[in-house]
Structure 1
Amino acid sequence: MPSKPAPIKKSPAKKAAEKAPEPVPEPEPAPVEAPPADAAPVEAAPTEAAPGAEGEAAPAEDAPAAEGGTPAAAPTAEDDAAAADADAPADAAPAEAAVVEEAPTPPPPAVPTSAPLDVSVDDVTDSSLTIKWNTPETIGDSGLDGYTIEYCKDGTTDWVPVPIREIGERPKIRIPRNLKSCYVKQVGDQINLVIPFRGKPKPVVSWLKDGQPVDTRVNIRNSDKDTIIFIRHAQREDSGVYEISVKVDSFEDKATITLQIVDRPGSPANVKLLDTWDFNAALEWTPPKDNGNTEITGYTIQKADRKTGEWFSVLVHHHRLTATITDLIMGNSYSFRVFAENQVGISEMSAVTKGVATIHKTSIVYKPPEYPERDFSEAPRFTTPLTNRTATVGYTTKLLCSVRGCPKPTIEWLKNQVIIGKDPKFRQISTQGVCSLEIRKPGSFDGGVYTCRAKNQRGEAVVSCKLVVKQVILPEAGKEKGK
């Protein structure tokens, strides 16, 4: 039997080329040429090279393709390392045989991701159903990118993927926190509310107000992710419960928003003046018919004097339906009016009392206190007595004393125990208890004892003095010189 051909040795340059990281391209098979018409058929070359003498081996390149036959067989597994020598000339014999290297060990195969667990079907309707499953037990090295859903019609074995557009998301409305309670705005304010939601494919959004379609004044704008309700100038009739519905196929989510548009209240009704006493007046009234669409927080009471007509607040933020006005002025007449208050402000109009509260003047009679009458009467008493005097003839002189007594005493002057009376030579004066006796140009005979006597109903008092009247004596020498 012929032996196997010896391996072909490779040159060092070819060994370096094999060690390079780039892969060696496989040689393309030679094209098959059609044989000529008169050519005899030739047998195809065997897949293996013809053996030679023992110890010798013809190179694989020496077996050219038979003319008109099939191309030469591809190199065997042992000759894979010599693929790079395919371009060498057929008649060139290699200088040395090449060494065959073993192929590297391939890496272990990647671990595949296992199938989802606990696949179940629920919420089956006429047009939809819900599929649920759990995460696979084993997830490959490349991770989990998603799931592919397929369905198979009954009676067939063909599985068809579900289009992505048919895989939807249940709708869910997300009401902002400030809209979960009653949303309050004043009349004339602008309202712009954004309500986000989610759902796939694009949900169908609808609005209702108190169970009825929304008024055309209310603008609704919808997108894939939210809906907007816009009112340029809010009015009282815009108040109510707004219901939003987001629907995807047979799934639907609903939510409500309560909108309250408030305004200032109307005036109180039936203000009455119940009573007036002393400096006080009592009032009573009923709540206003229009509270401004919000709770009444209090009342303001004012008064006006009918004389001046000016209004003054006497009670503010009063919570009762009755009030007592105090500290009114006597003789004045008053009118009263009441305003209602809420969280927006005070009412534009007020309710005025029909009656007038008049504070009348009461007659006052002064009655002085009665005290026991005191008796101030007393007998005359001289506080300053008469003193002895010396007078000169021809020079007027006075005698003085003072006396007290109640009632006023009567004063009498006496000379040598004889009442002087109305003698023109003497002048008697009595003022504020001071008694005086004036002696005009007394002579030597006017000297003597003078007495002052005071008398009244309670008694009598006497005081005396001595008056000496001297004569001026001129010396003789003086007289002669005068002559």
Structure 2
Amino acid sequence: MPAKPAPIKKAAKPKEKPAEPEPAPAEPAPAEAPAEAPPAEAAPAEAAPPAEAAPAAEEAPAAAPEAPAEAPADAPAEAAPAAEEAAAPAAPEAPAEAAAPAAEEAAADAAPAAEAPADAAAAPAEGEAPAPAEGEAPAEGEAAPAEPVEEVKAPTPPPPPEPTSEPLELGVEDVTDTTVIISWRPPATVGKDGLDGYTVEIAKEGTDDWKAANEELTISCRYVIKNQTTGDRLNIRVVAMNPGGRSPPAALPESVLVKEVGERPKIRLPRFLRQRYVKGVGDKINIVIPFVGKPAPAVSWTKDGEPLDTKRVNVRNSDRDSIFFIRQSERDDSGTYEMTVKVESFEDKASFVLQICELPGPPASVKIADTWGFNVALEWTEPKDNGNTTITGYTIQKADQKTGDWYTVVEHYHRMNATISDLIMGNSYKFRVYAENKCGRSEEATCTKDAAKILKTGIDYKPPIYKEHDFSEAPKFTTEMPNRSTTVGYTAKLLCSVRGCPKPQIVWMKNQMIIGEDPKFRQINNQGIVSLEIRKPGSFDGGVYACRAKNALGEATITCKLEVKQPVIVEKEK
């Protein structure tokens, strides 16, 4: 009795291109199996021997799926895991008791099926999932095929970086016997990629053997090419580097001879040393004198034509300047110092005068030359020690022998004789003189040996005779008294000024009547300013007022008119 074929289980479709096999026949046909079997290269696996089919059947569930008739050669490998995942949840549906008889029945059916070459060729390899038949949907629990993903276009690659333009204005700054100093300016076009640095390349004249002078890129636009052989001629060029590579080289138009360029020596003496340089005893002296010359000049110093005393003076020389240094100056350091700079057969000299001064001594002598009235004439001589500098002046002091206190009479006096005046009669005076120079006043002074006594002499005072001036004058009004107007009830005041000697008598009149001591009127006469105050005048107080001034030499009168007005009262409208 032929074995009953197992029910076909629907397998998951592959994700990319599902296979389209033909539906398998209900019963195997041995005669037609070889014709329908795919070629050996397309079969996923060889036919399993009967020995291996039995355990596979025991592990299978109640219904084993039937292999498809044809397996596509281009079936993707991803279908096998998908089939295993789909088969896993289907196993628990069969009851545990039915698993053993179903496994035995499947093993019996698998033995004759293994003998058929067509079924063996069409069966999938162990662990692979069978492809579903055309038009069938994937089983429940199996993953649905993914939709085809649209291709994403790759971004356009950025343009490759470009090198910079060549450096500009390449030139030689200086040349010595072993070095060449060059400088240049950055390229005109650097670009957005920036600049990594510069490479300096050299080659001997007549060769194309260019070598980099700097092991690492230099960022500075100045470079010192060192360790060169004296007498060589070098071709020099500079290349700018960036991510784009090398720029066009900037080369010197002519080769450079490695040789010290000679320069005549020249001393640049500071301006303050072009005249006498004066310092005090104990001061520190530090002078820097620059010079030029190539090769490095030889520097030498002398003092008054003799070599320097290195115990007193320190000299430190460099290629550009010489430092003259004295820690604590003394008077013996004064003199003429000469500096000589020599390059081969050329030399330059410069000298300056250093003068160390201190406080001077007092004048050699001071004496009283003459005395008359309230005056004393003094004379003195220059001090023996001027402090190694010129005397700039003298200070003179006096002292009254009654008190003994000294008072300064004259300071910064330039002559060596002086006249002291305004002395007190009957007193005796002594005098002393100090000397002064740039460092200050001498510590001591020279005093007169004798005292100058101002004698008392009889003086007849005759006062001058002056002719007395006659100030007598008749009264005279110096200002006019203008007419006035006022309102009833408002105080009025009349003013005028008068002069005269002797002092004139003032009389006020109203309408040619003397006012007298009427309390309504107030009369004031102060230093020639005459005033009449009318207190709260009425309408009858108006009229002609006159002021008369009289003394022994005459009289004078001045008049004015006073008008008293009534106030205007406007009745209110009803």
- Tell me, yes or no, whether TM beats 0.5: no
TM-score normalised by structure 1 residue count: 0.42
TM-score normalised by structure 2 residue count: 0.35
